Amino acid sequence: DAMVIQNPRYQVTQFGKPVTLSCSQTLNHNVMYWYQQKSSQAPKLLFHYYDKDFNNEADTPDNFQSRRPNTSFCFLDIRSPGLGDAAMYLCATSRDLGGPQHFGDGTRLSIL
Amino acid sequence: TQLLEQSPQFLSIQEGENLTVYCNSSSVFSSLQWYRQEPGEGPVLLVTVVTGGEVKKLKRLTFQFGDARKDSSLHITAAQPGDTGLYLCAGATGSEKLVFGKGTKLTVNP
């Protein structure tokens, strides 16, 4: 049974058109993460939530925002997608910071 | 800033060969995790090592944590095409978030 679910699996949007990616978890983990991954590279952490506390990475562009309305759900909002934002976006959870992470299967975002 | 240097970055071998992937740092980690990511999927945790000198085996995969807890290796014996994927090491320092290596893209040719 999938424990970290990302929707949609594939998303196509237009240059500059806002898009929202979603992630849900059934693990009741405290921490939820969003990563950006480009072809054959390691995932790059954008931000994470520890419970309701939001933690942004220093080099994450302002164009990327996140919301965590409850324990189970977390959203990634890209306000004005550029061509360089085309990538796989991975959501992950862990019980605590530093603990093993459980990843979803990702959303592949394409920008037209 | 803690860094994990992972090598090699790319590895293409024939079925049946052995291989080793290395993960090195100047920092001490409380634990180190290895993940495998297959194309089109998210990374999946393979193992966590926590004790210096620890060796864990997962079928044909052998994971070792260095005595000083600064480095780790993954050895695959008799690689199979199903082992193809991106292998990621990630280090944890207590209550801090994980630090990921850049990954090793392994291709095992039949």
**In this complex, do A102 and B97 lie within 8 Å of one another by their Cβ atoms?**
no
**In this complex, do A99 and B97 lie within 8 Å of one another by their Cβ atoms?**
no
Mean pLDDT of A48-73: 95
Which has the closest alpha carbon to A110: A2, A3, A21, A6?
Answer: A21
pLDDT digits (tens, 9 = 90+) for A8-35: 999 999 999 999 999 999 999 999 999 9
Q: What angle do CA A70, A71, A72 make, to 5 degrees?
A: 95
**In this complex, do B95 and A98 lie within 8 Å of one another by their Cβ atoms?**
yes
Q: Which pLDDT score, from 0 to 100, does residue A24 have?
A: 97
Three-state secondary structure readout of chain A: CCCEEEECCEEEECCCCCEEEEEEECCCCCEEEEEEECCCCCCEEEEEEECCEEEECCCCCCCEEEECCCCCEEEEEECCCCHHHCEEEEEEEECCCCCCCEECCCEEEEEC
Above 80 in pLDDT, residue B1?
A: no
Which residues fall within 8 angstroms of residue A105, CB to CB, at 6 or more apart?
A2, A6, A9, B40, B41, B42
In this complex, the residue of A42, A48, A90 whose CB is nearest that of residue B97 is: A48
In this complex, the residue of B44, B97, B103 whose CB is nearest that of residue A98 is: B97
Above 90 in pLDDT, residue A90?
A: yes
Residue located via tokens 């959501």: A91
Q: Is B1 on the interface with A (CB under 8 A)?
A: no
pLDDT digits (tens, 9 = 90+) for B23-61: 999 999 999 999 999 988 999 999 999 999 999 999 999
